Amino acid sequence: MKINKFPAVRLILSMALVFVAASCSKNSGGKNTSSATGWKLNDKRGGFQVNTKYKNQQAAPGLVLVEGGTFTMGKVQDDVMHDWNNSPNQQHVQSFYMDETEVTNLMYMEYLDWLKKVFPPTEDNYKNIYEGALLDTLVWRNRLGYNEAMTNYYLRHPAYSNYPVVGVNWIQATEFAKWRTDRVNEALLEKNGYLKKDAKILNQSAESTFSTETYLAAPTKTYGGNEEIVLKGRNGKAKPIKTKGSKGQPGETKEPTNIYAQISSGIMSPEYRLPTEAEWEYAAASDVGNREYNNYKGQKKYPWKGTYTRSGTRKYRGDQLANFKQAKGDYGGIAGWSDDGADITNAVKSYPPNDFGLYDMAGNVSEWVADVYRPIVDDEANDFNYYRGNVYTKQKIGEDGKVELVTPENIKYDTISNGRIMARNFPGQIATVPVDEKETYLRQNFDKSDMRNYRDGDKQSTRYFDFGNSEDDDKSKDTKRMYDSPKHNVSVDSIGQMTRKYDKSSKRTTLVNDDVRVFKGGSWRDRAYWLDPAQRRYFPQDMATDYIGFRCAMSRVGPKSDKKKRARN
């Protein structure tokens, strides 16, 4: 029989080790203890609540990660158009996510179906919400061409479900991105137990909708204030907190705190949006495929390697790498092998992806980006996340000191230049107003709400600007604008009668103004010249064509990459 001669010594050593470990843990803070104050984090009784288990941002539906970096934005080939509106300049783009493919007809039809169910167009108050989102299917018509099959079937027929959506203007594309943000976050909150299961399907109505911004700012107002849908705590398990009394005094019962998901919860995704021009060009060029240590081995002419539009790999040699117009009267090639497989657009993923895993970054359809067009890229003003188009707003505060929501009664509509009426926002969203002096006073980084004209188009940029002259009334005249573009006018009177005034002036010198947006990439209607990611063109933001579509992007939060950087060898 084996006898343990030192049981007391072993017990003392074990207790000492436990004490030392506990002391170290206490002194080092640990995951659930603040290293700033030593207070307990995520205490059920209150205090600071934060997601201490958060790892990295997960790609939202449809998106792939585009790791950021530096690149040469602009054209390095000869500019046969001689406009030189994108001369080479060095830019740095932060990591972001981008749709793997262009937004398809199927995706947009889901959006229209949701709008039709929640805001029935049969009701006069919501009629223009649905109709304002409808695509312009008449873009397929041509004075000397027969295209009625596409006019009638391209959007809705299942044969075209996975084809890129067209006939969409820039405003509609941005509204789709906002809607997509809300639907994705609504599903995430339901999955994590903060919203009643299936409420997103069974409880949606014009008076009961979900908005990401509304939930974050005023969660009790989401779904029209229905507490049966917006749960207190995960799965509605937030219970009142009972405190112990002292010296004969009874304890108190307090309402639980931090019962709704917040940004610090790390559950919801950032917003879907259109990519900036710099992001789109960086993602399309995918120069990462030519990387050698911290340099690029030249700049690719197309999103793929090489200077030809046909594949050089043995298995697919001779296959076209994009859908584009090959010559006059030749939109796909001779029938049979070696054509590009499409007369008009083609189903997404029909051609190989680029080095970032993105499909159709050249050909198929051109794509809207977020930027307002100007004939320069002002890299002297900024070379990090370049973007022209910032219009800063803030949440509108009502007389009660709380955020003001859009309701069916106060929803606002805009009449765009072609006469179409579009909703500015939807019921259930937070109303916004431009930022004012409270946000801009003594700032060095921005000084007003609308920054679209900064250094090009504002009064200080014109040749008529007289610094220090206070008498500048005549400088605001129509003849002394920076960009003398046409000014069409559409107005609607109190009885709904619309008046259209077309600008017939023969003295206009440009089409550039604050309402034209950049579109990138060649399309099925374009020659190979336009497949260069650096090419940039513009089009009015409220008009649509049969060759411009779009895809969404999302900002990356946290580290630049999910992977640790290691030397190649």
pLDDT, mean of residues 261-284: 95
* Residue 378, both tokens: 């002002």
Residue with tokens 């009643």: 196
What gap in Å lies between CA 187 and CA 353, rounded to an integer? 29
* pLDDT of 84: 80
pLDDT at 478 over 70: no
Residue 502: what pLDDT?
Answer: 85
Q: How much is the pLDDT for 24?
A: 47
**Environment class of 1 (CB within 10 Å of its CB; exposed 0-12, middle 13-18, buried 19+):** exposed
pLDDT at 362: 95
Q: Is the pLDDT of residue 479 over 70?
A: no
What per-residue confidence (pLDDT) applies to 14? 59
Domains of the chain (ranges, CATH numbers): 56-192+267-389+522-563 (3.90.1580.10)
Instruction: Tell me which of 181 and 76 has the higher pLDDT.
Output: 181
pLDDT of residue 243: 74
Residue 121 is predicted with a pLDDT of: 93
pTM for the structure as a whole? 0.90
259-263, 398-402, 488-492, 517-521: segment of lowest average pLDDT: 488-492
Does the pLDDT at position 153 exceed 90?
yes
Contacts of 43 (CB under 8 A, 6+ apart): none
| Structure-model confidence comparison of residues 494 and 347, the more confident one | 347
Dump pLDDT digits (tens) for 30-54: 668 888 999 988 887 777 888 888 8
Residue 291 has pLDDT above 80, yes or no: no
As a whole number, mean pLDDT of residues 461-476 equals: 63
Nearest to 277 by CA among 368, 358, 378, 359: 368
Query: What is the mean predicted confidence (pLDDT) over 466-477?
Result: 58
pLDDT for 387: 97
CA angle in degrees (0–180, nearest 5) for 189-190-194: 65
Q: Has residue 569 got a pLDDT over 60? A: no
Sorted by sequence, the CB contacts under 8 Å of residue 265 that are 6+ apart come out as 49, 51
Q: What is the per-residue pLDDT for 139?
A: 97
For residue 64, how many other CB atoms are within 10 A of its CB?
16
Looking at per-residue pLDDT, the higher value among 108 and 420 belongs to 108
Is residue 538's pLDDT more than 90? yes
pLDDT tier at 16 (50, 70, 90 boundaries)?
A: low
Chain-centre distance of CA 554, in angstroms? 5
The mean pLDDT of 58-62, rounded to a whole number, is 93
Whether the pLDDT of residue 268 is over 80: the answer is: yes
Say how far apart CA 275 and CA 369 lie, in whole Å. Answer: 5
Band (476; pLDDT cuts 50, 70, 90): low
Name, in order, each residue with C-beta under 8 angstroms of 292's C-beta and a sequence gap of 6 or more. Answer: none
Read off the pLDDT of each residue in 63-71 and give the average, rounded to a whole number: 95
Assess whether pLDDT exceeds 90 at residue 150: yes
pLDDT value at 237 more than 60: yes
Q: Which amino acid is at 139?
A: V
Answer whether 275's CB lies under 8 Å from 553's CB. yes
Given a cut of 60, whether residue 473 has pLDDT beyond it is: no
Most confident region among 16-20, 301-305, 309-313, 517-521 by mean pLDDT: 517-521
pLDDT over 80 at 23, yes or no: no
State the maximum Cα–Cα separation within the chain, in Å, rounded to a whole number.
113
Structure confidence at residue 253 (pLDDT) = 78
